[in-house]
Amino acid sequence: MAESTAPQFKRAVVALSGGRTDRPIVALAAEVAKASKAELIGVHVVEIDWTQPLDADVAGRSESAQRVLDIAEATAEAARYRLESVLLQARDVGAALVDEAVERGADMMIVGLPFRRRFGGDFAIGATIPYILKNAPCAVWVVREAMPEEQA
């Protein structure tokens, strides 16, 4: 991507799902951020169901949640860039990501979208990304992974 066409931002929230899109979006965000020396904040949200109190320390005790942040930090470091990692817990992932973008004064949110199909073959986008697109006060960059070759 040519520098002149890359989106410019000063502070970006990078949504980390723990899935296969995390590494590519962190690497991409780091490369784009270099041009303007932007701040990158990787945010992983552990969703707490309604049967547990919201203040239960589920996220802090989760090794898999910490691993998500470690991988994101290592990916940014491999691209020779710094990513601040944040671990949150909330009832709704999309709302927590939008709230974090507002609180941080982010002018960009970068989210990954895995290529998935629902039962019946329809492309599935889930609920989080539509929520972010509708409610984020900043620009949103959705990066969908490539369609698997057997489905192309």
- In this predicted model, what pLDDT tens digit does every residue of 112-139 receive, in sequence order? 998 877 666 677 788 999 999 999 999 9
pTM score: 0.87
Cα separation, 117 vs 95, in Å, equals: 24
Give CA–CA dist 66/74, Å, rounded: 12
In tens, the pLDDT along 13-32 reads 999 999 999 999 999 999 99
Domain 22-151 homologous superfamily, CATH: HUPs (3.40.50.620)
